[in-house]
Amino acid sequence: IKKAVKARARGNDLFKLGYYGEAEKSYNQALALLPEKNDVAVVISNNRAAARLKKGQYRQCIMDCTFVIEWARMKSQNESKSTITLLEGDISIRWHDQLGKALHRKAEALEKMVRISEALQVYEELIRMDAGDMKAINGIQRCQSKEVPQPPPRPTPAKSSTTTDTNSSAFPGLDYSIFEIKQVSNNEPPPSKAVAAMRARQAELAKEESERQEKADIVNARIDTWKRGREKNIRALLSSLDTLMWPGAQWRGAPINELLEPKKVKICYMKAIAKVHPDKLPSSTTVEQRLLASGIFSVLNQAWDDFRSNNKI
């Protein structure tokens, strides 16, 4: 356990410095030294979830969080919020805090994956734990603004008396139109500008989500083709990045013969990351371009972690 705790401490230091890939590797090393079902392993899995969230590895982050949440719920059933469990290696665990951290990370990962209804459920659980959790409150507000309510199914129009099949009726000759509800026109005022804007935004989000689902397979195929055989070769990835970048990105690539020096690789990598960082994309970026940027961002980050480790940058 002491070796695992030491690897975890190293991972925490790397995380604070922003070296999320290296931090994840340290957490992996720590977890390899522990049995899967272990209190310390749960805490380290929560740390790894944070690193994976920062790297854009949302599915892996959710897997870690789900494991932590289940364990923390079990542990906290008979413990108060202030209970502290002291373990070997000088680790103090507050299971209520571990649960809250894992829920926050899971909700954020779900939101990033545009799984809005699932993210909303997690944020609501956080509010039940702490009604004053402003981070969860803000998350709920974001999710509610993104949710697109599904319209109710249209009712099948009733057949009029002129189209009723009297031969199949139990009461032939009966005029069924007397049972039809006549629509009465009411003089309701037109929707306000705020309502109209909300409806327009909902329609826009619905269109965006439909396009996202439509383009996802195409984009994933392009990303797979680009990275195949180059996953750990950042020079090859950067020199061929122009095959994925869209014109609006204004990407000026570099041939591989200009990426021989590690310093030049770092400069090119930093420029590429700045172009595809999810938080730095302009509002005019299309759904397909955002999907491409997300995939490029993840692949380059993993390749850079390997390159920096091998070259001691």
129 lies in the same domain as 207: no
Lowest mean pLDDT among 76-90, 142-156, 212-226: 76-90
C-alpha separations of 12 from 18, 43, 205, 248 in Å = 10, 12, 38, 38
15 lies in the same domain as 107: yes
Number of domains in the chain: 2
CA distance 47 to 132: 24
Which residue type does 45 have?
S
DSSP state letters, 54-103: HHT-HHHHHHHHHHHHHHHHHHHTT--TT--EEETTTEEE-HHHHHHHHH
pLDDT value for 119: 92
Supply the CATH number for residue 117's domain.
Answer: 1.25.40.10
Supply the CATH number for residue 278's domain.
Answer: 1.10.287.110
Mean per-residue pLDDT for 296-307?
Answer: 87
pLDDT digits (tens, 9 = 90+) for 230-264: 888 999 999 999 999 988 888 888 888 889 899 99
State the burial class of residue 12 (Cβ atoms within 10 Å of its Cβ: 0-12, 13-18, 19+). middle
- pLDDT of residue 213 exceeding 60, the answer is yes
pLDDT band at 168; cut points 50, 70, 90: very low
28 lies in the same domain as 126: yes
Does residue 82 belong to any structural domain of this protein? yes
CA 270, 272, 273: angle at the middle one, nearest 5?
65
pLDDT digits (tens, 9 = 90+) for 61-83: 999 999 999 999 888 776 544 34
pLDDT over 70, % of the chain: 74
140 lies in the same domain as 231: no
Does residue 194 belong to any structural domain of this protein? no
pLDDT band at 94; cut points 50, 70, 90: confident
Does residue 94 belong to any structural domain of this protein? yes
- Count helices and strands (H / E) in the chain: 11, 2
Q: Which residues of 269-283 are buried (b: 16+ CB within 10 A; e: fewer)?
A: beebeebbeeeebee
Pick from 38, 23, 152, 145: nearest CA to 93: 38
Q: What are phi and psi of 19, to 5 degrees?
A: -90, 75
Rounded mean pLDDT of the chain? Answer: 80
Does residue 83 belong to any structural domain of this protein? yes
pLDDT value for 249: 85
Residue range(s) defining the domain that contains residue 19: 2-146
6 lies in the same domain as 137: yes
Does residue 161 belong to any structural domain of this protein? no
Answer with the one of 100, 128, 146 that is the final residue of a domain: 146
Does residue 46 belong to any structural domain of this protein? yes
CA distance 295 to 276: 9
- pLDDT of residue 116 exceeding 50, the answer is yes
Cβ neighbours, 10 Å, residue 200: 10
29 lies in the same domain as 139: yes
- pLDDT of residue 142 exceeding 80, the answer is yes
pLDDT over 90, % of the chain: 31
The better pLDDT of the pair 226, 202 is held by 226
132 lies in the same domain as 223: no
CA distance 284 to 286: 6
List of long-range contacts for 130-139, beta carbons under 8 Å, 24+ apart? 130/100, 133/100, 135/104, 136/104, 136/107, 139/107, 139/108, 139/111
DSSP state letters, 214-265: HHHHHHHHHHHHHHTTTTT-HHHHHHTGGGT--GGG------GGG--SHHHH
- pLDDT of residue 285 exceeding 90, the answer is no
115 lies in the same domain as 233: no
The better pLDDT of the pair 278, 221 is held by 221
The better pLDDT of the pair 112, 85 is held by 112
- pLDDT of residue 157 exceeding 80, the answer is no
pLDDT value for 26: 92
pLDDT value for 166: 43
- Sign of the alpha-carbon torsion through 126, 279, 110, 60: negative
- pLDDT of residue 163 exceeding 50, the answer is no
227 lies in the same domain as 142: no
Query: Residue 92 forms beta bridges with which residues?
Result: 86
Helix (H, G, I), strand (E, B) or coil at 281: coil
The better pLDDT of the pair 167, 48 is held by 48
